[in-house]
Chain A
Amino acid sequence: MEKLIIEAAINELVSKQQNRHVPYGPDEVAATVKQCVDAGMSYLHFHAREQIFGEMIWNEPELYRQGILKMRALGVPAELPWYPTYLTLEPFYQKHVVALVEDPEIRLQIAAIDMGSGNINDYDPRTKNFTSVDQTKPWSHNFHRQFFQICRDLKLRPYLGVYEPGALRSIATYLEMGWLEPPLVMKFFFSDAGPYGFPPNPRCLQMFVRTLELVLPGVPKIWFTMCYGHSIWDLVRPTIELGGHVRVGLGQYHPWYWPDPTGEEPTNAEQVARVADIAHSLGRGLATPAEARAAFGLSAWSGAASGAVAACSQSVAGEAC
């Protein structure tokens, strides 16, 4: 079985009030990523956030750039595949992505898209209230086509987030239409907090995988399991056994809109290490960042200017790169 890629979503929208280990600014991001890579992480997702208050910086490349250069200065391999966030898929909100792709020191190569339309509202069982009960996520097929065209223009590999099995059928259709090309890199979303998709349990993971076989037979693909909430730990072992890859991280572990009743405050690196331990117990090796890159079909990292990295390393102690 191919080596396990461990992804970590290190911050997302979670606040330090929820877990003090959530990294905000570039220095904290870099330090967290270094710990995670040392623990076995080979794929990264982070949000650019302001250092003091953790405010989301949706459209600016600079904090991403600083985070990436600072983590390299700490010894994180430049090969590490990663992807940023964005407020929506409209081209206007992709300007930081364009900048990060074109930046010769950064050379972003992955863009995530959460496929399909749906009601992606969280539901607090204690108050019995939905968040944003009027809100829907209405992303048409043409909207996806537009995003895939951006990915093609920028030579970005789409990371396809799948909430519902219908999105797998859409992906198959997009392949048929030539909107996408293999290899496919997919992420199966589960959620404790939001009542959408398959329920977050091992049997439903099997259903997801079976549906994948029915809908996309013979297509080169790799897939990840992620879960908003603590049920990720019910899904990690079967994912590893079924040949999938795993995303963990504090950004998806705690509720975004209400306090985590468990009071748990793990670190990102502890979560990565826990997955690595499970993988080892099951006899599955861990991918390196370079191996993860190859699995995604990305070109080998041809190297940022070493001078820039060296210059950045001198500024890790606080100055912006």
Chain B
Amino acid sequence: MAGQKLIIEAALHELVPKSTNPHIPYGADEVAADTASCIAAGLSFLHFHARDGVTGQQLWSDPEPYREAILAMRRRGVSAELPWYPAYGGLDRESFSHIAALAADPAIRLAVAAIDIGTDNLNDFDSETRQFIDPDSVKTLSHAAAKDLFDLCRELELRPYIGVFEPGHLRHVGIYLDKGWIEPPVILRFFFSDFAPFGLPPHPECVGMYAEMIEMVMPDVPVEWFVACAGPSIWDLAPAAIAAGAHVRVGIGQYHPTSWPDHRGEKPTNAEQVARLARLAQSMGREPASPAEARAILGLDAARGERSAPPRAIQSSLCGVKLP
């Protein structure tokens, strides 16, 4: 894997408010400007949330703010080939209605949908107050519910970007392949966290563990995988990920805690994080991929194909979502 180009993903804002970091982009114009800066620094895969331009409120299921942002970033010279994916407020078809609209929109042609699989306790833990955030909540996605979302991805010609929180989720993926619910190439994101006690701890050795387990669970399956971490330990994990042939997600959306104030005082920009990662990769002999190269590595064109109009199945699945 040494020498393979590195896809640098950035999660621009997630749930982080400007009060934590003033560089968090709200609204289409700020997202577009931030993305253009990140592209110049080496970004080739984008994730952002649609948020109100003034308050930063999450706009979970409205396709229009996404559309505005994508078109605005293109006007700033961002390649239309840049792969990206939106957020959602739930793991069900109804919560994916904006994703269906964005996939069907010929001006946008969304090609990726993130699906965080499995059931787990993902609650943040505030070490100052020694309290869990929302300790009654559990993130649940049964195997049947995952299949439904994979079916939706197939209908919409979307490549699932599969979020893995625990080793067991990797075994889920192996079975989903066995059942034909998903097809290779498989795109995985391994979540680590400084803020929530789930999964393998955010230690460089644990990146290597995941690399080994991919080989155990899915030998000979084409896999592209990313390492993401909520918190500053991403900088401990990134060298291990680059060395292992993985790709990396950075971004101030995942850098700061979202359940309590960040007392560290660091306020980087997204582009600074992308540039830092690009320098690190180059020092290790991996060049950043371009958006078009990222698209090819992720197999997006093969998944989607060329088309001039949304297939009938897609149109029928929009269920009242207004096409732009």
Contact = CB atoms under 8 A, between A and B. Distances in A.
A116 B120 contact: yes
Contact of B144 (A133, A137, A195, A211): A133
A199 interface: yes
Interface residues of B, number: 44
Interface in A62-80: none
Interface in A137-180: 137-143, 145, 163-166, 169-170, 172-173, 176-177
B40 interface: no
A196 B171 contact: yes
A81 interface: no
Interface stretch (B55-63, B210-218, B222-230, B315-323): B210-218
Given A165-B199, A169-B199, A214-B201, A128 B168 contact: no
Given A195-B174, A196-B168, A164 B135 contact: no
Contact of A170 (B119, B121, B142, B174): B121
Interface stretch (A51-59, A202-210, A263-271): A202-210
B165 interface: yes
A229 to B, nearest CB: 13
A29 to B, nearest CB: 32
B235 interface: no
B5 to A, nearest CB: 29
Given A119-B119, A165-B167, A195-B172, A140 B135 contact: yes
A84 interface: no
Contacts of A173: 125, 132, 197
Contacts of B127: 176
Interface residues of A, number: 44
A95 to B, nearest CB: 24
B132 to A, nearest CB: 5
Contact of A199 (B120, B147, B201, B216): B216
B203 A214 contact: yes
A137 B119 contact: yes
Contacts of A169: 197-199, 201
Nearest to B165: A166
Nearest to B198: A166
Contacts of B264: none
Interface string B172-205: 1011001100000000000000000111110101
A261 interface: no
Interface string B130-153: 101001111111111101000000
A233 interface: no
Interface of A: 116-119, 121, 123, 125, 128, 130, 133-143, 145, 163-166, 169-170, 172-173, 176-177, 195-199, 201, 203-204, 207, 210-211, 214-215
Given A118-B120, A140-B138, 14 more contacts: A116-B120, A117-B138, A133-B147, A136-B142, A138-B140, A139-B121, A165-B166, A166-B165, A170-B197, A172-B197, A173-B125, A195-B168, A203-B212, A207-B209
Interface of B: 118-121, 123, 125, 127, 130, 132, 135-145, 147, 165-168, 171-172, 174-175, 178-179, 197-201, 203, 205-206, 209, 212-213, 216-217
